[in-house]
Structure 1
Amino acid sequence: MTPVPHLKLKRPKSLLYYRMRCQSPVTSTTFEIEKALKHLIEVDPAIAKLVEDVQTPIPFRGPLPEGDNTPYEHLARAIIYQQLSGKAAGTIWGRFKEQFPPGSLSPEEVLAKPAAEMRAAGVSERKASYLKDLSSKFTNGEIDANNLDALSDDDISKKLIVVKGIGQWTIDMFLMFYLRRPNVLPTLDLGVRKGIAKHFNVPSGQLEKAKSAHEQMVKLTEKWIPYRTLGSWYMWQLLDLNKVEPVKKKQKSKK
C-alpha cells in the first residue's frame, strides 16, 4: 500500500519504536527474509553492500514485544507514541496500561474509561479522543481484528484511515511491522525518501519537495516488487550508515 502524493511528509519521533522494537506475529501474509534478500540483491546489486554493512537485526522475525500482542493494542500504542520521544511515550504508555487489568488491552475497557482518568496518566485530551474512536470502531465491528489477515493492504488502509489520529504513515508502519506485509512503500516517510534519493542518485531535495515524489518513488522501486518493505527498511539503514555509495548512472561513452 502506498499513500497519495499530496499528503504531508512524516518523520515522527516514535519511528524508533517501529524500526527497533516492533516485530511481527507470523501470519499468512508474512514473507521469507532470505528469499526477499536474494531478490533485492539480484535486481538491485547496490543493496548487496547495504546487506553486508548493516549490523542491525532485521526487525521482521520473532514474536511481538510483550504487551503488544493484538492489532488493537498495537494501534493504541502507536497513537500514544505519536510526536513524542521514545522515553516520554514509554512512560505515558506504562501509566496508561496500569489503569487496566493485566494482560492485553481491550477496546471495551478503553471505551469505558473516562477521558479524565486517561489524562491523569499523561494522555492528552486529543489522543484520548483518538483512543475512544479507535475503540469504538473495534467494538462495533467496523474493524475486525480476526479478519485483518484476509484483507489486502488497500482494504486495511481504507478501514484504518477513517480512525481519528491514524494517518497513512501509521497505517504503513502497521502493515510493515505488525502484519509484516512484504510490499509496503511508505512514501510519506522522510527517511525513506532521503534514503531512496541517495540510493538512486536523485538530486538532493527532489524527492522531499516535489509533488510528484510519490510517483517517482513508486517508479524507482518497481524492481523491488514484491519486497518493497525490506527495501524501504534498508533505506533507513542507508541513512544511518551514511557511507554506502548510491547507484551511479552509467555515463555514455564519448565518440
Structure 2
Amino acid sequence: MAFFQYGEAEIKYLKSRDKRLAAVIERIGSIQRRVDDDLFSSVVHHILGQQISTKAQQTIWAKLENELNTVTPDILLTCGRERLQSFGTTWKKVDYILDFAQKVRSGEFDIEALNAIPDNKAIASLASLKGIGVWTAEMILLFCLQRPNIFSYGDLAIQRGVRMVYRHKDLPRERFERYRRRFSPYCSTASLYFWAVAGGAIPELSDPAAKK
C-alpha cells in the first residue's frame, strides 16, 4: 500500500509560512493518504467515483477488480459495455471509460507523457478526455502522480477546510489564490490538512459559511 509522500521539508516550510496552518499540523500530526501508482487504473477509478459517495465508489471498484483482476485497456475493451455496467456504474461512465481505453490503446492519448509535463499541461491533457474535468484531473495528479503543488479550488472540502481554519464566511477565487501562493510549492501537503479539518479532525473548528 502506497501513501502520498511528504516529509520534514514540506512541513517545516508550511509552518514557516502560516501560523494557523502550523497549529493545525501540530494538532493533527502526520497524515497518510493512499495513492494509486498505476496511472491508467487511477483514471478509470476517478471516472467511476464522480458524483457518488466514496463508499459507493469503493464497492464498484472492488467488484471490478475482483472480476477483472487487472485493469488495462485491453481487458476493459474485451470486457465490453454490458459487463462493465453490471459492476454498478452508469452507462455514461462506461462509455467514458471505454473511450479512454480505446484512446490509450490506439496511442491517440499518450498516458505516459503525463509523467513528464508540467501540472497545467497535464491537467489540460486529462481534461480533454470525455468524463474528465479539471477537478478530476487535479485529483489524479495528486493521488497518482503525486505532484507536490496541487490546490484545487474546485474541491469543496478543501474550500471548507480553508474557511474553517481562517474563519472565512466565503472564499472567493481571489482569496483562495492568495493561499495557493502562500503554500506553494507544497500545496498538496497543505491540501491533506485542509481535507482533514473539513472531515472533523479538529472538532472545535466549525464552518463559518454554515452559520446564519
Q: TM-score, normalised by structure 1?
A: 0.72
Matched, 1:111 2:72: no
Aligned-residue offset at 1:182: 1.0
Aligned AA (1:167): G
Counterpart residue number, 2:192: 233
Q: What percentage of residue pairs aligned between the two structures are identical?
A: 26
Match of 1:80 among 40, 48, 53: 48
Matched, 1:89 2:57: yes
Counterpart residue number, 1:165: 131
Counterpart residue number, 2:162: 196
Deviation string for 1:61-92 (max 9, x for gaps)? xxx5xxx5410101111111222233332222
- Looking at secondary structure, tell me which structure has more helix per residue: 2
Contact 1:157 1:171 in 2 (8 A): yes
When residues 32 and 81 of structure 1 are mapped into structure 2, their CA distance, relative to the original with a 3 A threshold, is closer
Structure 1 unaligned residues grouped into runs of 5+: 1-20, 25-30, 208-212, 247-255
Deviation string for 1:12-46 (max 9, x for gaps)? xxxxxxxxx9735xxxxxx6421110000011122
| Whole-angstrom distance in 2 between the partners of 1:187 and 1:110 | 32
Counterpart residue number, 1:210: none
Deviation string for 1:35-58 (max 9, x for gaps)? 110000011122221112115633
Counterpart residue number, 2:204: 243
CA RMSD of aligned residues (A): 2.4
Structure 2 unaligned residues grouped into runs of 5+: 208-212
Deviation string for 1:105-126 (max 9, x for gaps)? 1112212322112122222211
Q: TM-score, normalised by structure 2?
A: 0.85
Alignment map for 1:22-101 (pairs within 5 Å): 23-24=3-4, 32-55=6-29, 57-59=31-33, 64=35, 68-100=36-68
Q: For CA contacts below 8 A with separation 6 or more, give which structure has more relative contact order.
A: 1
Aligned-residue offset at 1:150: 0.9
Quick check: which has more Rg, 1 or 2? Answer: 1
| Whole-angstrom distance in 2 between the partners of 1:89 and 1:97 | 12
Aligned-residue offset at 1:145: 3.2
The number of aligned residues is 205
